[in-house]
């Protein structure tokens, strides 16, 4: 359908979700003739994200973009110090700029795809198309994919807890060898918790380079100075003294089971974090976007009603219960994650977070946690769902 000189597909935002979906379109001949418009407000998108994820070490799909990878991880807290191999997985890091540049080059070679730098202000679906209003134009699209995350949507409700994974990270370079580049420090809870779930995340890129992030899973952001103070303190504790900050990174990722899909309609699909594709209990999103992009491409070949795309699974319920607990007992995050790593093999944990475990394995994982805390929260949730 093309009306008003319109497009088959319009995307709001040219971030991870849009680019992965459009990248998948380019692999399928069914989409070769579709007219696609991507609207992005930021003319200067570069290394604004460091995307890390785990997958089989042998998988090569992201290879051209992988900046670093690790076969071992550590987990540390007051009660447990653990260093384990995660083979057959590897923990991989992609820096966004290389990926943005690659997809932008592909887009430039395909006449059916246009990327315009305009700010999307609103959209209005009707029975046959969707009008998309930007600061410069109005476009009509048969389908509209929205990746613009709106915090006010989740903050206007209280049924589902809303935490944030928020952090400030420094890429540092040291004068002397300080890091073991074979091992990613996944979570180090040996920092003051101050009533929240707070940890350090340290990814060594070489013996003299690392990304170190002070991270919280909590409701409210801190002042930048506090994240920075804690990074400085941590580096001193680890005897990392002579270093330069080469680059910085900052983010806050939504952690919520809010059902974003209820805003989808026949011709509108919310994608990426705006579509609830962020794993609520961890903030990991990148690999879920990959899975959803693949699924969406197959879906679009046979289906036309976007309300049918999202399906809830049992992992949504696990995430909801975990977030209910973490929101109420935010100071207990170190204790809860320690229990998880104490009682389960890290490979099973990663598989669980990927939503690929069996029910039997999931029961075993759940038994790692204090039953009373979770039963109490489950009962509260059941009562809440009756209202």
Ligand X SMILES: Cc1cc2nc3c(=O)[nH]c(=O)nc-3n(C[C@H](O)[C@H](O)[C@H](O)COP(=O)(O)OP(=O)(O)OC[C@H]3O[C@@H](n4cnc5c(N)ncnc54)[C@H](O)[C@@H]3O)c2cc1C
Residues in the chain: 387
- Compose the 256-275 pattern: x for residues touching ligand X by CB under 6 A, - for all others: ----------------xxx-
- What is the Cα–Cα distance from 189 to 198, expressed in whole angstroms? 6
Provide, rounded to whole angstroms, the least separation between the CB of residue 387 and ligand X: 31
Tokens of 161: 């807890």
Nearest position to ligand X, beta carbon: 15
Q: Which helix (H) or strand (E) holds 226?
A: helix 224-237
Phi, psi of 99 (to 5 degrees): -75, -45
Based on the shown chain and the rule CB under 6 A, indicate whether residue 115 belongs to the binding site for ligand X.
no
Tokens of 173: 């370079």
Provide, rounded to whole angstroms, the least separation between the CB of residue 110 and ligand X: 19
Tokens of 144: 């509209």
Based on the shown chain and the rule CB under 6 A, indicate whether residue 38 belongs to the binding site for ligand X.
no
- What is the Cα–Cα distance from 137 to 83, expressed in whole angstroms? 54
- How many residues bind ligand X, per CB under 6 A? 30
Tokens of 63: 């290879």
Which of 120, 163, 187, 350: binder of ligand X (CB under 6 A)?
120
CA distances from 241 to 89, 208, 217, 350, 377 (A): 32, 12, 28, 33, 44
Based on the shown chain and the rule CB under 6 A, indicate whether residue 211 belongs to the binding site for ligand X.
no
> If you search the block for the tokens 């609830």, which residue do you land on?
276
Based on the shown chain and the rule CB under 6 A, indicate whether residue 145 belongs to the binding site for ligand X.
no
Contacts of 45 (CB under 8 A, 6+ apart): 14, 15, 96, 100
Provide, rounded to whole angstroms, the least separation between the CB of residue 240 and ligand X: 22
Give yes or no for a contact between 7 and 37, defined as CB atoms under 8 angstroms apart: yes
Provide, rounded to whole angstroms, the least separation between the CB of residue 42 and ligand X: 4
Tokens of 243: 């270093």
Which of 6, 7, 15, 293: binder of ligand X (CB under 6 A)?
15
Based on the shown chain and the rule CB under 6 A, indicate whether residue 45 belongs to the binding site for ligand X.
yes
Based on the shown chain and the rule CB under 6 A, indicate whether residue 13 belongs to the binding site for ligand X.
yes
Q: Which is nearer to ligand X, 6 or 15 (CB)?
A: 15
Based on the shown chain and the rule CB under 6 A, indicate whether residue 276 belongs to the binding site for ligand X.
no
Q: Where are the alpha helices (DSSP H) in 110-223?
A: 151-155
Which of 10, 11, 14, 54: binder of ligand X (CB under 6 A)?
14
Site residues for ligand X per CB under 6 A: 12-18, 39-42, 45, 49-53, 119-120, 147-148, 249, 251, 253, 272-274, 284-286
């Amino acid at each position: 359908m093309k009306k008003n000189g319109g497009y088959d597909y319009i995307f709001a935002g040219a971030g991870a979700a849009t680019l992965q979906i459009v990248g998948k379109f380019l692999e399928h001949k069914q989409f070769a003739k579709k007219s696609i418009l991507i609207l992005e407000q930021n003319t200067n998108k570069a290394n604004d994200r460091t995307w890390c994820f785990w997958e089989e070490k042998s998988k090569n799909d992201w290879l051209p973009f992988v900046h670093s990878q690790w076969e071992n991880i550590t987990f540390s807290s007051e009660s447990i110090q653990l260093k384990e191999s995660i083979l057959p997985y590897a923990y991989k890091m992609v820096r966004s700029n290389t990926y943005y540049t690659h997809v932008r080059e592909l887009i430039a070679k395909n006449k059916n795809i246009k990327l315009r730098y305009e700010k999307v202000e609103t959209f209005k679906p009707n029975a046959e198309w969707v009008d998309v209003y930007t600061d410069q134009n109005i476009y009509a699209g048969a389908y509209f994919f929205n990746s613009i995350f709106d915090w006010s949507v989740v903050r206007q409700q209280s049924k589902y807890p809303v935490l944030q994974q928020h952090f400030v990270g420094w890429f540092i370079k040291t004068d002397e060898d300080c890091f073991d580049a074979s091992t990613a420090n996944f979570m180090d809870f040996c920092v003051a918790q101050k009533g929240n779930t707070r940890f350090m995340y340290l990814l060594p890129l070489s013996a003299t380079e690392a990304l170190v992030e002070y991270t919280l899973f909590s409701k409210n952001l801190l002042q930048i100075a506090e994240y920075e103070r804690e990074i400085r303190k941590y580096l001193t504790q680890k005897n990392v003294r002579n270093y330069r900050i080469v680059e910085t990174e900052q983010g806050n990722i939504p952690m919520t089971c809010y059902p974003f899909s209820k805003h989808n309609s026949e011709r509108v699909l919310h994608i990426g974090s705006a579509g609830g594709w962020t794993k609520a209990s961890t903030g990991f999103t990148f690999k879920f976007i990959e899975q959803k992009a693949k699924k969406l491409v197959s879906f679009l070949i046979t289906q036309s009603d976007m309300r049918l795309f999202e399906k809830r699974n049992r992992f949504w319920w696990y995430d909801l219960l975990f977030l209910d607990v973490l929101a109420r007992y935010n100071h207990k995050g170190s204790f809860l994650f320690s229990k998880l790593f104490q009682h389960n093999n890290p490979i099973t944990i990663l598989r669980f977070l990927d939503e690929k475990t069996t029910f039997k394995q999931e029961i075993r994982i759940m038994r790692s946690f204090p039953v009373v805390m979770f039963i109490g929260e489950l009962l509260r949730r059941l009562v809440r769902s009756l209202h």
